[in-house]
């Protein structure tokens, strides 16, 4: 028999606040710029 499982607890992920970037190459610069535009620290 299959029974439906009722879940009263909802997973709500927290907002990402910080992004770590490994280097300062061109792609990293774009990632940092996009993160700042979204209000994140990079």
Q: Is residue 1 part of a domain?
A: no
Q: What is the pLDDT of residues 31-40, one digit of tens each?
A: 999 999 999 9
Please state whether the predicted TM-score (pTM) of the whole model is above 0.75.
no
| CB contact at 8 A, 42 and 31 | yes
Q: Is residue 21 part of a domain?
A: yes
CB atoms within 10 A of CB 12: 5
Q: Is residue 23 part of a domain?
A: yes
Domain count across the chain: 1
Q: What is the pLDDT of residues 1-42, one digit of tens each?
A: 556 565 567 777 888 899 899 888 999 999 999 999 999 988
* Rounded distance between C-alpha atoms, residue 39 and residue 42, angstroms: 10
């Amino acid at each position: 028999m299959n029974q439906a499982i009722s879940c009263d607890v909802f997973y709500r992920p927290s907002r990402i606040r910080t992004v770590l970037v490994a280097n300062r190459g061109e792609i990293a610069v774009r990632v940092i710029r996009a993160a700042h535009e979204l209000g994140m620290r990079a």
